[in-house]
Amino acid sequence: MKLEGTVIAAHGRHYLVELPDGGALSCFPRGKKSELACGDRVSIARSNESQGVIDAILPRSALLYRSNEFRQKLIAANVTRMILVVATAPPFSETLVTRCLIAAESQDIDVLIVLNKCDLTGPLASAEAALAPFSRLAYPILRLSAHSDVDALRPHLAGQTGVLVGQSGMGKSTLINALVPNANARTREISEALDTGRHTTTHATLYRLSENSSLIDSPGLQEFGLHHLALRDIEYGFREFRPLLGSCRFRDCRHDREPGCAIRDALEAGEIAPGRYAAFRALAGEARSD
Ligand SMILES: Nc1nc2c(ncn2[C@@H]2O[C@H](COP(=O)(O)OP(=O)(O)OP(=O)(O)O)[C@@H](O)[C@H]2O)c(=O)[nH]1
Ligand SMILES: [Mg+2]
Ligand SMILES: [Zn+2]
């Protein structure tokens, strides 16, 4: 019997697929190579009560992934909003935030930054300072504490397929537990009790928030390689560069030292922040060449 469903958990080559009747089947892909992500819509053949085989991946509206020179790692499919989680403590990497934003922009996925653990007032000011460059670029920032109240986040999730991304320890799974009754997502406390090491969430899981909203929890990121992006994707990902693209003298301008470069002119005029230009140059240096 042919069925369509949604991948709600991805553990290596083993996927849990939710069916329209609310049940779930444990599935493997038919082909050796096919790689799927949490959030993928798939067509499956049921093998028995609890198992099935994935025959095809239905077309994706977005695919969030990262890559280095050797391989790519899928994070989530068909997501409409990235919830980029940072915390007051431990300190977060601004470089990682930039990379997450570029990955989202390149797939036209909208972004909300959540500053979690605002109950820790000591490190709050330095976290705010680290977020200021992103706030200036009009990325929305929501401040909350997953330990006390997450209701402010709910309206941002309504009607969306969201994905929580960020470094390990920022509180993504704690947010899931606060938002979803009975989610029982494993958080650091539980991992410490079980002694399973530093990274608590080991695979992506999709949780239903309502009939038309869902949220994917993903494992903490240490790095976010963007080797799959070409220079043109990267420049597009810097949202403040976008209105200037196409205005450089040379069509193939890399915004490095070319004469008549609109990006460098904007930098010199103080319209582009030096830190953002430096981040662009670093990413451009590892861009896919084509
Ligand atoms: N003080 C404070 N601690 C929090 C808050 N939210 C989460 N934490 C703590 O932060 C630690 C990490 O939380 P997790 O939810 O496991 O973090 P994660 O982002 O899911 O981490 P990975 O799964 O490794 O990516 C836990 O000890 C949480 O209790 C908060 O709002 N305030
Ligand atoms: Mg987690
Ligand atoms: Zn240029």
Cβ within 8 Å of residue 22, ≥6 positions away: none
pLDDT at 192: 64
User: Quick one: DSSP state of residue 237?
Assistant: H
CB 172 within 8 A of CB 181: no
Residue percentage of the chain with pLDDT more than 90: 82
Sign of CA dihedral 24, 29, 35, 41: negative
Same domain, 144 and 211: yes
The parts of the chain modelled with pLDDT lower than 70 are 1, 32-33, 190-199, 290
Å from CA of 190 to ligand 2 middle? 11
Question: Is residue 223 domain-resident?
Answer: no
CB 91 within 8 A of CB 126: yes
Å from CA of 246 to ligand 1 middle? 43
Cβ within 8 Å of residue 110, ≥6 positions away: 80, 81, 82, 104
**Number of the ligand 1 atom closest to the C-alpha atom of 177:** 15
- Looking at the DSSP bridge assignments, the partners of residue 141 are 113
Sign of CA dihedral 240, 243, 246, 249: negative
pLDDT at 229: 95
Question: Is residue 193 domain-resident?
Answer: yes
pLDDT at 272: 97
pLDDT at 188: 76
Residue 195 belongs to domain spanning: 63-217
Per-residue pLDDT of 10-69, as tens digits, reads 988 889 999 998 899 999 998 766 789 999 999 999 999 899 999 999 999 999 999 988
Same domain, 97 and 45: no
CATH of the domain at 30: 2.40.50.140
Same domain, 152 and 262: no
**Which ligand is closest in space to the CA of residue 251?**
3
**Which ligand is closest in space to the CA of residue 219?**
1
User: How many domains are contained in the chain?
Assistant: 3
pLDDT at 199: 67
pTM for the full predicted model:
0.95
Q: Is 145 in the pocket of ligand 1 (CB under 6 A)?
A: yes
Helix (H) or strand (E) holding 61: none
pLDDT at 79: 98
